[in-house]
Chains A and B, each alone.
Chain A
Amino acid sequence: MLCDLRSSFSIVAGSALPVVAGVGGSKPERLAEERPRIGVLALQGAFREHLRMLAELGAPAREVRVPGDLEGLEGLVIPGGESTTMGLLMETGGLLAPLREFVVKHPVLGTCAGLIMLARETVDGEQPLLGVMDVTVRRNAFGRQNRSFEGSVELSLNPDSCEGFHGIFIRAPWVERAGPDVEVIARLDDRIVGVRQDRMIGVAFHPELGHDTRLHAYFLESVAAVRR
C-alpha cells in the first residue's frame, strides 16, 4: 500500500519537471499538476531537514516566519525544536491566529515540538499552543536526553496496513489522550506516538533526521488530494 502511495506521488512530482511543463504548459489541466506550494515553519528548530526532505520528494518548500509567508500555501510542516520557544515566537510574532486559521483548512505535518504545538493541551503546564487537535500530550515523556533513542515504530497510515518505521526520539513527547475524532497512526510499546485528525498529522519522532520519506510523501499526498 505504502509503496503505491510513494510511486503515485512521484508521478505527480515528476510531471512538474520544467521539460514536461514546457509541453502544453498553457493547457488548463497542467495547472493542477504544478508543484505543491508547501511551507515549513522556520521560527526555531530543525526546519532545514524538512526542507531537504521535501525537496528530495520534488516539493521544494518555503520558510515561514511571518504571517504573510503563509499566503498561497497548500500545506505546512511544523518542525521539531523547543515548543516553548516556538510558542513564544508565535505569540510575539502574531502568528497564533493566522496559523490556527491555516491548519484547520490545509494539510499539516507536525513532528515532535510540531505535534505539541498542534495539541489541545499538554499535561504539564501552560504554554501557547495552536490547540487544534483533540489530544493531550506529555512533553519530554520518555525522559531527558540520556533517554533519547532510536527504535522501531508501528506505523499504520491506512486502516489495513501496519509497517515498521525507524523512529528517532529526542526528549520526545507522547500522546496521553486522543479524542474520538483522532486516529492513532503510530505506536511504540503501546504508547501513542503518531496521530491524525482530519488533514492534520502529528508524530512524536523525527522522520526528517533520517532517510525514510514515507511520512512526508503521505503528507504531500494529502496536499495533492485536497487539490483534486
Chain B
Amino acid sequence: MREEGTLRVKTGLAEMLKGGVIMDVTSADQARIAEEAGACAVMALERVPADIRKEGGVARMADPEKIVEIQETVSIPVMAKARIGHFVEAQILEALDVDYIDESEVLTPADESHHINKWKFKVPFVCGATGLGEALRRINEGAAMIRTKGEAGTGNVVEAVRHMRTIMGEIRSLSSMNEDELFRAAKDYQAPYELVAWVAEHGALPVVNFSAGGIATPADAALMMQLGADGVFVGSGIFKSADPSARAKAIVEATTHYQDPSALARVSRGLGDAMPGLEIGAMRPEELIQHRGW
C-alpha cells in the first residue's frame, strides 16, 4: 500500500530543503548554473521579479515548454509559480509534475479574495506571508511551506527582515499567552484557533518557513538564517549580479555556515557587483507587491 500526496509527504519535501537555497531561474542554462552552485531546488519562471517590476504588464505562470526544459536539465526539485487564486495554472503545473507550486504575489493576482484551495492538490504549495496571521491562513488552506514575502525584485533585504522579525516575534508572544488570550489572538490573526494553539504550544510554525524577497548577498542570506529562517529563496539577486555562478555558490555556503563570521568573510570576497537594488522608501505604495494576498 502506497499513499501519495499526504500532508507528511508534502511538508516532508520542505523539511529536506532546509538549510538550502532555492534559486529563481528563467532558462535551462541558468538552472544548470544553479544546480552546479549547490541550489537545493530551482524556481522556474518567465522573468525574474526585477524584470517584472521594470517591464510591467501582467505576470503569469511560465510557459510549460520552459518548465519541461528545466526539469530535463536538472535533478534537483523544480518549483514553479502560479498566480494567487489561479487554480487552473496550478492544475497545469501539477500535470507538468513540478515538485512544488509557489502561489506567488510576484505574479499578478488572478483573484482578489480567494486563494487556491491547496487541499485539492497532490502537489505541495509554498505561499508568502508578511505576518503570522497570513501564514496560518495559508496553512489552513493547505500550504505545506511558508516563505516570508519581503519585497521581491528590489535587492533590498529590509522587508524580508521586517517580515521574519514580525513572524518570529508573534510566535514568541503567542507562547506566553494563556487560553483566554489565545482565543482572542485567533480572532485578531483571523486564523483557526487550533493552529494558533499549536503554534503557542510548540513555539514554531507547523511547517517550514523560508525567507524571500530582497536577498542579494551572502551576508543577507546569513542574516535571514540568524533571524530564524529555515532556508532562503534568492530571486533576482543571483542572475542580476555581475558573476551569477560565484555569487550563487557563495550564498549556498553562507546559508550553511551562517553562524560562522570568518566563513562568511571568506565567501563574500571578490564576488563583483551585487544587483543594484531599490530603496523601498522611495517607491510608491502601489509599487509594493507584498500587499498582494489576503
Contact = CB atoms under 8 A, between A and B. Distances in A.
B8 A209 contact: yes
Interface string A146-157: 111111100000
Contact of B15 (A65, A143, A149, A209): A209
B99 A49 contact: no
Interface string B12-32: 110111111000000000000
Q: Interface residue tally of chain B, by bracket?
A: 35 or more
Interface string A30-56: 000000000000111111110000000
A46 B13 contact: no
A162 interface: no
A149 B12 CA distance: 10
A124 B72 CA distance: 13
A81 B9 contact: no
A73 B238 CA distance: 38
A20 B71 CA distance: 56
Contacts of A112: 16
Q: Interface residue tally of chain A, by bracket?
A: 35 or more
B18 A46 contact: yes
B4 A147 contact: yes
Contact of A89 (B4, B123, B253): B253
Contacts of B122: 146
A189 to B, nearest CB: 9
Contacts of B8: 150, 168, 209-210
B38 interface: yes
A133 B221 CA distance: 35
Query: Majority SS of interface residues in chain A?
Result: loop
Given A89-B253, A140-B75, A46 B15 contact: yes
A144 B249 contact: no
Nearest to A88: B38
Nearest to A46: B15
A187 interface: no
B2 interface: yes
Contacts of A196: none
Contacts of A81: 16-20, 40
Nearest to B259: A65
Contact of A168 (B12, B41, B76, B94): B12
Which of B6, B18, B100 has the most chain A CB atoms closer than 10 A to its own CB? B18
Contacts of B89: none
A108 interface: no
Given A146-B123, A171-B99, A85 B4 contact: no
Contact of B40 (A48, A82, A124): A82
Interface of B: 1-6, 8-9, 12-13, 15-20, 35-41, 75-77, 94, 97-100, 122-124, 249, 252-253, 255-257, 260
18 contacts: A44-B18, A46-B16, A66-B257, A80-B15, A81-B19, A82-B76, A84-B75, A92-B253, A113-B16, A139-B75, A144-B99, A145-B99, A145-B123, A145-B124, A146-B123, A149-B2, A150-B2, A150-B6
Given A46-B18, A171-B13, A209-B8, 6 more contacts: A85-B40, A139-B75, A145-B124, A149-B4, A168-B9, A170-B13
Closest 4 A-B residue pairs measured CB to CB? Answer: A145-B99, A88-B38, A82-B40, A149-B2
